[in-house]
Amino acid sequence: MVAYFHRRSWHYPLLLWVASLTCLWNLGGPSLWDLDEGRNATCANEMRESGDLITPKFNGSLRVDKPALLYWLQIAAYEVFGVNEFAGRLPSALAAMATVIVAYELGRSLFGKATGLLGGLATATTPMLCGAARFANPDSLLNLCTVATLTIFWLGQSQRGHLWWLALGTTTGLGMLAKGPVGLVLPFSVAVVFLWWDGRLRILFDRRLIWALLAWCVVALPWYIWVGVDTKAAFLRGFFLEHNAGRFSRPMENHSGGLLYYPLVLLAGTAPWSVFVGPTLWCAIGASVRRRAMRGISPPGLPTAQPSCAPRVDDAQLMHAPSAQSIHAVHRFLLSWITTYVFFFSLAATKLPNYILPVVVPYALLTASFLDRWRRGLLVPPDWWMWCAWLGLALLGFGLTAGLFLVSGAVATPFGQGRAISALAPWTFIGVVPLGGACAACLLWRRGRCAASLATFVASTIVLVAPLAAWAPAAFEEVKAVRALVQLSGARQRHTDMRVAAWRLEYLPSLNFYTQRDVIHLSSEAELAGLLRYPLPVFVFMPARLWEQCSGETRSLAMELGRHRDLYKSQFLVVVSNRIADASNVP
């Protein structure tokens, strides 16, 4: 498929079309996911309504979790599209789409046009990138800044003019505004590891590095200084000491894991492209360690007489790329990128899948390079490697179908009692797509039609990932209570003087977003009864069991307006009000 397109005028529309399917399609359909989406989207709206674009606040209190770049972009989206889920997620989606284009340009520089296009398609259809694109948090923005920084680093390292240093400082400064020190420290660490491995550390002692530092200071420091002064350093202490150093030194919110945590995350998060992880990494490591491996010598452990991952052409023919760097350095660069991030976050005590999102692009490009050379007959891997890949793709289809059968309740299990999500039932046969793709691709491969086999794999991946990313999350609405209860009760009345409260629902910050006001958090029945006696309309959200345990006197003060099943705690929630007449939106 990729052989028919040779110019950016073809590549960009194709990549943007695929990325729009995986990142923008039905973006605002599902309600916000708690905790992070609820807090981030609400924080941005509170900053917008207060007019204070410097100090992040949630529920009227200082929020020290994240810097301000995401909030600023969400505020801009709110001004254009209104305060809704689409606008809250739009910055993440656009950042992911931009990442696809940057990945394409990097792949084009490293390996050539065809590999760049295939790498862009792989990036656009990985579950990790699709998930980040559809989630209102800073990870997609940080990923874009990281990929842009390392792309600029690669493209300009041979000239190293003033503009190159300024561009590096700008993108790392934006990364600092997106999520903090990781936007600077980790890209710099990747560069150090690569330059050390490639024997060119002297680049870091260039006097023009001062231009990068200057650009970083101009972009990142003003807001940090301003918010530090405005909060008397409270934000800086909370952000740097608790949410950076604290997360690295101890598990926060029970997010921990072992040394295999991130390798397993990568296997799942880059599926179905991860079915080629074995030959991809084998060939990349072989190319990075030994120059001779790129001149017809098989990687260690494979005899030269056998089919191998060693190219049968010289370096220049292999690359078909404008970069003057050797393929040896290319693989070292991408492997340095992957290993630095995986190693760093494996050492951190707090572990979350999204932390290694920046690894998606280098892995996608290495996979694309392997597949493109295999397609052109420049690599001849052992047959069992390809058999394993197609079998892995088929097993992915079986596993997806089986998992959806269980989660949807189509098959009764003790675990599924009260937890089944019936709206997922129509998706149970989506596993036929990778299964059929595996069979067709394998058949074409056995007939020697590697290009057609690869095109079939790419097409089946798009058909699988795009609808799943766009519509499967909406199936969870039957077990997400907040938006449904606010709509049922009419608790979103922007121009009414009223109160909204919650009892033991601190884990649902999206309540603030959907009611568009601060939420009073209660801790006892006495506080509940006192609030229900308030001379203004009051809406209270709580677990159904707490409402049912309240005394008759308390229950007589309010009427239940609705109840809904809750995904996060496997319970029912209710909303009650002391003045049903004021709930004008109640059906």
Cα–Cα nearest to 359, from 558, 159, 143, 532:
143
User: pLDDT of 203-248, one tens digit each?
Assistant: 888 888 899 999 999 999 999 999 999 999 999 999 999 888 888 8
* Residue 61 or residue 299, greater confidence: 61
Q: What is the DSSP string of 257-325?
A: --TTHHHHHHHHHTTTGGGGHHHHHHHHHHHHH-GGGGGTPPPTTS-TTS--SS-SS-HHHHH-SS--S
Q: What is the pLDDT of residue 328?
A: 85
Mean predicted confidence (pLDDT) in 24-48: 95
| Token output for 178 | 């997106």
Using alpha carbons, list the distances in angstroms from residue 154 to 191, 333, 406.
9, 8, 46
* Residue 320 or residue 347, greater confidence: 347
C-alpha 97/C-alpha 130 separation (Å) is 10
Q: What is the pLDDT of residue 322?
A: 41
Lowest-confidence range among 165-169, 255-259, 375-379, 518-522? 255-259
Using the structure block, give the residue that is written with the tokens 């990128």: 337
Q: Is the pLDDT of residue 311 over 50?
A: no
User: pLDDT of 261-292, one tens digit each?
Assistant: 999 999 999 999 999 999 999 999 988 875 43
How many residues does the structure list for the chain?
587
Instruction: Say if residues 423 and 29 touch (Cβ distance below 8 Å).
Output: no
Lowest-confidence range among 98-112, 122-136, 423-437? 423-437
Using the structure block, give the residue that is written with the tokens 């009764």: 412
Q: Is the pLDDT of residue 546 over 90?
A: yes
User: pLDDT of 386-420, one tens digit each?
Assistant: 999 999 999 999 999 998 888 887 766 665 556 78
Q: Is the pLDDT of residue 371 over 70?
A: yes
C-alpha 213/C-alpha 9 separation (Å) is 36
Over the chain, what is the mean pLDDT?
88
C-alpha 56/C-alpha 62 separation (Å) is 6
| Token output for 51 | 């007019």
Percentage of the residues of the chain whose pLDDT score is greater than 70: 90
Q: What is the pLDDT of residue 417?
A: 59
Question: Rounded to 5, what percent of the chain is helix, strand, coil?
Answer: 65, 5, 30
Q: Is the pLDDT of residue 584 over 70?
A: no
Q: Where would I find the H helices in 412-480?
A: 432-446, 450-471
C-alpha dihedral sign at 477, 479, 480, 482: positive
Q: Is the pLDDT of residue 306 over 50?
A: no
Q: What is the pLDDT of residue 289?
A: 77
C-alpha dihedral sign at 96, 217, 359, 178: negative
Q: Is the pLDDT of residue 325 over 90?
A: no
C-alpha 369/C-alpha 543 separation (Å) is 53
Is cis: bond before 35, omega within 30 of 0?
yes
Q: What angle do CA 411, 414, 419 make, to 5 degrees?
A: 75
Residue extents of the structural domains in the chain: 2-375, 383-478, 482-582
Instruction: Say if residues 500 and 519 touch (Cβ distance below 8 Å).
Output: yes
